[in-house]
Amino acid sequence: MNDYNARRCLAVALLIGLLGGCAHAPKKPAPAPAAPPPATTVTAPAAATTPAAVLQPTAPMRYTVKKGDTLWGISSMYLKTPWAWPDIWYANQQVKNPHLIYPGDVLILGTNAEGQPSLSVERGGQVVTEATPPPSPATVSAAPAAPATGLPVTKLSPQARYLPLNQAVAPIPLDGLRPFLDRTKVVASGDLDKFGYIVTSFNQAPVTGSGEEVYARKLNNADGERYDIYRLGEKYVDPASGDNLGYQATYIGSASVETWGDIQKLMITSSIQEARSGDRLVPASGGSAIDLNFYPHPPSATVNADIVAVLGGVGQIGSSDVVVVSKGLEAGVTPGTVLGVYRKGNKVSDPNSIFDAILPTERTGTVMVFRSFKQLSYGLVMQANSEIHVADIVGNP
């Protein structure tokens, strides 16, 4: 073999050796994919993150309570967190029931022995004590009226017995809430099935109203002659568990029996909606006793709830709307309980990441409960920083 062929064979052998070495060399591991961000549990804060009793910089040193004032409105004048009212009001230890104040009373802002802000009340020039009687109705009626709030007023003839404000300042505006205080209620499945029902109107029209006659069945004359008309409405479902929390029973009107028999004939004496076939006739009991002597207070324990519905047929939820909250007496949510409303953080695209970003939970409003059932509550939206939606979180303020 000449030198040229020898060099050529050697080059080929070296090339084969290099290729073989590359084939058996350990491969460099591929980089592991980036781990996705941890899942976020969206819940409302367990407690307020700011001191409860923070005075407003414009809090008046003296304020004369006016007719039309509400406890929430007065609290808002003094505190940034109106539900912390007892923190400064209960400094007046002489009064056992200090949230009962009346038009004409004078609130005086001062400090207690620890230097903390406190409120006291004067009535007729005298400091109110436990022995101070409520003012006479004539004195209350003579007190100056507060400016109109612009809230809607619903004129009804409520049957509930309200216990007993005696013209004291109401916790929240009550005029627009009358239908939800004693008429509209939450019932379990089948609760209305045991009552009689409207078969048709006298003229056999699909709907009928006040002053018109209807035919009914399954009424019992032992229940009397006066009936309230109810219609089974929306089903309330817990968004978290899917459990059935009850049904809305909507008050339609009242009726009185004219003739008895297998088919009963009734006159509709009042109505706020048109009655129709199938509406239930519930014996009128004169209404239940509803205690309005509640005051704003935070929950006694951690509350994790949701808005499951809004009453009144509104589309967008804002201030002065009534919402249904998915917690009630079983969870310690009682009338006067103040709750924060929180918007769940949406998942949005991150332009610099392959993973979506989850926005934080944000406070959007405040709700005060005015009526509680076993598993649900009715609350009034006292404040709305932005639009509130069904399924928004409700929790500690």
Question: pLDDT, tens digit, for every residue of 107-148?
Answer: 998 887 777 888 888 888 888 776 777 776 655 555 444 444
Alpha helices in the chain (DSSP H): 3-24, 71-78, 85-89, 137-141, 178
Are residues 122 and 86 in contact, defined by beta-carbon separation less than 8 angstroms?
no
What is the pTM (predicted TM-score) of this model?
A: 0.71
Residue 230 CA to residue 240 CA, distance in Å, equals: 29
Last residue of a domain, one of 245, 267, 290: 290
Residues β-bridged to residue 63: 107
- Asked if the structure places residue 167 within a domain, the reply is no
State the Cα–Cα distance between residues 251 and 179, nearest whole angstrom: 8
Rounded Cα distance, 327 and 239, in Å: 12
306 and 246, same structural domain? Answer: no
Are 308 and 286 in the same domain?
Answer: no
Task: Assess if residue 316 is contained within a domain.
Answer: yes
Vertex 194, ends 192 and 200: CA angle to 5°? 75
Range of the domain at 199: 181-290
Whether residue 322 sits in one domain with residue 269:
no
The string of pLDDT tens digits covering residues 228-263 is: 999 998 899 988 788 899 999 989 999 999 999 999
Structural domain contains residue 22: no
Asked whether residue 162 is assigned to any structural domain, the reply reads no
Contact at 8 Å (CB) between 389 and 362? Answer: no
Q: Which residue from 273, 264, 186 is spatially nearest to 232, judged by alpha carbons?
A: 186
Last residue of a domain, one of 104, 126, 149: 149
Between CA 51 and CA 49 the distance in angstroms is 7
Query: Rounded mean pLDDT of the chain?
Result: 78
Place of tokens 């001062």: 110
Q: Residues of the chain with pLDDT > 90: what percent? A: 34
Nearest to 70 by CA among 341, 294, 299: 294
Contact 300, 332 (CB under 8 A): yes
Cβ-based neighbours of 100, under 8 Å, separated by 6 or more: 134, 165, 168, 169, 293
One domain, residues 226 and 302: no
Comparison of pLDDT for 14 and 117, the residue scoring more: 117
Structural domain count, the chain:
3
Question: Distance between CA atoms of 7 and 78, rounded to whole angstroms?
Answer: 101
Give dist(CA 262, CA 218) in Å, integer.
8
As to burial, measured by CB atoms within 10 angstroms (0-12 exposed, 13-18 middle, 19+ buried), residue 76 is middle
Answer yes or no: is 175 within a domain. Answer: no
Give the per-residue pLDDT at 320: 86
Report the largest interatomic distance among the alpha carbons of the chain, rounded to a whole angstrom: 134
Token pair of 383, please?
């404040």
Q: Check residue 270 and give its pLDDT.
A: 92
Residue 382 has pLDDT above 50, yes or no: yes
What is the residue type of 6? A
Do 67 and 134 fall within a single domain?
yes
pLDDT-derived band at 44, boundaries 50, 70, 90: low
Q: Could you give the CA distance from residue 338 to residue 380 in angstroms, rounded to a whole number?
A: 10
Confidence band for 307, pLDDT divided at 50, 70 and 90 = very high
In a domain, 218, yes or no: yes
SS3 15: helix
Residue ending a domain, among 290, 316, 348, is: 290
Question: Does some domain include residue 160?
Answer: no
> In angstroms, what CA-CA distances link 137 with 12, 125, 243?
117, 18, 48
Please indicate, yes or no, if residue 283 is contained in any of the structural domains. yes
